[in-house]
Structure 1
């Protein structure tokens, strides 16, 4: 900015953007503002005396004649609509879901709250009711009375417990640590919870005394692939090897030991315990039949994952031993000995209905030679995922190949494999996610935005729709703004690629920008503050998107690939230019250059879909919501006589 005999400019040579000037006569540079926290932004002058700029959300003017800075007080009347509490539906914002142990109710996480919803009868329950915290990762306890979840209500992530009916207050179960938590899972006996943190460490929490022990450490990112044994005495965990493949390991509660289970020569993942405690099933990429590129001599791995099982003891029967038809020999039953007269028939022993499945099954493991007792489940190798085991069956997904630029034409489907019959069948087509009940009898399936409950059996049975229409939260925007700000700050603290945050004091930066929260009146304000805070790190690929902007619906307009111009002499629009396209590609097509379309530059457009187009109209008003076939009435002359219709 050139004012008089000085050049004024903004520089961060002192570490903070401040206003400086350079005297053209003496070449002397002088610092004019001395802020150590807030940058001088968007400086602009009137080229005579005043320079105006923004600093930490406030406007100030600098008088170049007196070298004085003055804050500008601006009062803007505002109804505060974007800060008013309101009740908003959240069925479109479901992040996670689970099932009650026997599938009577569904568990949802949406917009930072935890809900349960009935499958058929009843009403949903919001169990956490908090705009100030982000509650997530919910999991239903095996006995059904409690729900565990992760919440930052204390300012940091902790594991919390809440009654499944919402009675009483939620209670934290872990100490406050500076780490984001993930993958909360109950042990089947309900005594422990496993979860991981941002450093890839796996922890086990004992509910009774709230003690936590670290059981595994993933060196290559987050650790989210693990499963409890049926008795709750062991954890099967996927861990990376130094060769960039992964193996399964088993951690045991009894001795706190971690032992390798599968070979490091093959990628193994998605562990699933046999409910009888005899096998540990898993997925493994062991078939290399690459797909050849049609463009160049190159290949891509595809459809190479199979299902395997490791026998946990030497005496376990091979599920897929060779079969043979043999003759059954009829044996004549011997008559039962006569009972003395007056004796009663002894009662048959009845199973103890009060015992839980986890208490009846004790998973015994012989670790010696474990990796040598691997069998393959007779399922064709494919793009398999999300393996789980229930009584007599395996569940898994089959997906299409992944592409750059387009989705696979093959929808992900949920398969069920009958271990006795050695047969696979499709349980549900087009699956975006699923959750199996603890007893293995039901599965909650997500297809797009629709949830359904299905019986876990080869034919599946009828899909029961699960309504999410009544899920809603009492939104308090001011509290949400603070929660979003704090979580963004923590995520950068936890996941920035270097721990020293590029040498900046991240806590001080957060404290500085947190002062602006009372002035945030709209989500766009919040995004601006977040962007300014993140920009302090001087790092690329840092983006902000989303939020409730309370904007009116934007009108959709059909674009014909042409420019219109008004001929004022006749009061009609004509085509000034037609944009070329590549009509063999749908997304690059230019409608007016399609084969058979008789339109040229200079033609007058007299009507669009029968509506006359005059000088007082905007052509694009008549093209609103036109995404399909559009008919133009055109002519070389600005009259309807002799006009032709093109579509």
Structure 2
């Protein structure tokens, strides 16, 4: 679905199409902003070819559109100063690989943006020029700013005039460091607000005061997204946890002046309630889902599906939907008629059920001699929080073949479910009585901390088993790298294991059960590197040669695939073969690469 910008004249009912974006990015937004005199609309748009954003201005008076920025930087969030003299925006000159939002090569490429101000008229000076009184002097100290007359009515917005000639030369940078900024808005004249994304921390909401030429942290922990009142005097924001998750607390504070104290202006939202008719809501969701597929699927013929007939086929089941999960199943079945791999249904209001998960030990248990025996302990990586193995922690005296005789003093033996003894123990200390024999005599106590899931430990064990097998069969000459997906997990695994085995003469790449993500261009780029030369350095009585580029495995490579790999797991082996990285071994992948996006969301 394309993103369009329209103007609706309420007096006449006339609709005017202004523009539309050129690409269906998932996070696209034209970010339109009215000028104070309502003559102009500033907005952002991706340019054809480069996919960088440029800022445009639409003149409502004569229906003309003007590109304001030159496209050599990525420019977003245009907003007008209330005086009508300036247009502000965020811009980045290192957007670079982020033009490919689906490309893995865009991972870990920080984008820094500065806050910029454009002087609209040639006759107006930059507000950042040195001014009399900037330097300390007696006259400057004696100057007292005039107090505004609160009794005077608000002045009529001045007409906004834009000189397009030489516009780029009238763009100046506000004196704030370039960082990962977003969501720029203007409040009262000379006051500008923007969000800073801070790694491993909540977003910070800043305000820049043009008069003081200084920025302050207005809200230290804000969820992205805030709103200013029409007059720019009040600000609504949602609070966030220290790590950035929305905490559900909303507050209205003064937009100007000092930063509000924590907790000031909180709104009493805890008692807000809404009456919902789930059956009517499910009917509406069903109808909207059907219409969205009809109007926005990437092919107009809906892959040959008789869509009105499909609706009749599935809506007969609506009276039997009694849970949101039932509706999701029904929508998924209906979407399946389109034969599209990436077309999903999910989410919704689900009733909350209190869960009391059982803690896990990271081990296989079996029954022997009337007791539960530890058949295998998964070792994991105890330095890695996501791969902590309770029974292999330093100082835990437990071994394969030992028996668990009791848990926290309660005897454990079949036919009791062994996991019932660990309910509610995730992250808590638990005492186990263990012995190498199925008797209490000679047993000893150990203290362990169970984990919530063993999935990562078991996957790690499988990967390490494969790596050891390849190492053994190749007599230490081949690397083994497992790629679980083409998202963050696969990116992390590739970086960790590929470069750590550059001493190998070749590599076995394994993408079985790969559940996709991005397009793995980064991995293909690395694996197809060409050798350009060597650097040699004398080290005592020997010479050490380093290849250029240095980060590579120069030998042959093979990719293992299976039918459980799809999406990016389809594209990766295709690219591997097309770029002649090496042969494919295994069964044909799933074939679920086709998908669509950019459709409207449910309200």
TM normalised by structure 2 equals 0.63
Alignment of 1:209-358 (within 5 A): 209-221=12-24, 222-242=28-48, 243-286=50-93, 301-323=109-131, 325=135, 353=152, 355=154
Distance 1:306 1:557 in 2: 49
Residue pair 2:36, 2:157 contacting (<8 A) in 1 also: no
What is the CA distance between 1:285 and its match in structure 2?
Answer: 0.9
What is the CA distance between 1:521 and its match in structure 2?
Answer: 3.1
Give SS of 1:645's match.
strand
1:455 corresponds to 2:254: yes
What is the CA distance between 1:393 and its match in structure 2?
Answer: 1.9
What is the CA distance between 1:468 and its match in structure 2?
Answer: 2.2
Aligned to 1:362: 159
Find the partner of 1:440 among 232, 244, 247.
232
Distance 1:393 1:547 in 2: 39
What is the CA distance between 1:387 and its match in structure 2?
Answer: 0.7
The structure that has the greater radius of gyration is 1
What is the CA distance between 1:278 and its match in structure 2?
Answer: 0.7
Find the partner of 1:646 among 439, 446, 451.
446
How far does the alpha carbon of each residue in 1:12-43 deviate from its partner, in whole angstroms, 9 at most, with x for none?
Answer: xxxxxxxxxxxxxxxxxxxxxxxxxxxxxxxx
Find the partner of 1:492 among 283, 293, 300.
293
Distance 1:455 1:251 in 2: 32
What is the CA distance between 1:210 and its match in structure 2?
Answer: 2.8
More helix by share: 2
Distance 1:200 1:283 in 2: 21
Residue pair 2:8, 2:16 contacting (<8 A) in 1 also: yes
Aligned to 1:624: 423
More strand by share: 1
Residue pair 2:235, 2:255 contacting (<8 A) in 1 also: yes
1:584 corresponds to 2:383: yes
Residue pair 1:425, 1:458 contacting (<8 A) in 2 also: no
TM normalised by structure 1 equals 0.59
What is the CA distance between 1:228 and its match in structure 2?
Answer: 0.9
Aligned to 1:422: 213
5+ long unaligned stretches in structure 1: 1-197, 292-296, 331-348, 401-407
- Structure 1's 298 and 549: CA in aligned 2 closer, same or farther, altered over 3 A? closer
Residue pair 2:40, 2:60 contacting (<8 A) in 1 also: yes
Residue pair 1:215, 1:251 contacting (<8 A) in 2 also: yes
Find the partner of 2:399 among 600, 608, 613.
600
Aligned to 1:384: 181
- Structure 1's 287 and 564: CA in aligned 2 closer, same or farther, altered over 3 A? closer
- Structure 1's 533 and 455: CA in aligned 2 closer, same or farther, altered over 3 A? same
* CA RMSD, 1 decimal: 2.9
1:201 corresponds to 2:7: no
How far does the alpha carbon of each residue in 1:144-167 deviate from its partner, in whole angstroms, 9 at most, with x for none?
Answer: xxxxxxxxxxxxxxxxxxxxxxxx
Residue pair 1:564, 1:575 contacting (<8 A) in 2 also: yes
Give SS of 1:486's match.
helix
How far does the alpha carbon of each residue in 1:342-372 deviate from its partner, in whole angstroms, 9 at most, with x for none?
Answer: xxxxxxx9787555x6x34332333343333
Give SS of 1:631's match.
strand
Distance 1:252 1:305 in 2: 27
What is the CA distance between 1:450 and its match in structure 2?
Answer: 2.4
- Structure 1's 635 and 450: CA in aligned 2 closer, same or farther, altered over 3 A? same
Residue pair 1:416, 1:458 contacting (<8 A) in 2 also: no
Alignment of 1:164-175 (within 5 A): none
What is the CA distance between 1:315 and its match in structure 2?
Answer: 2.1
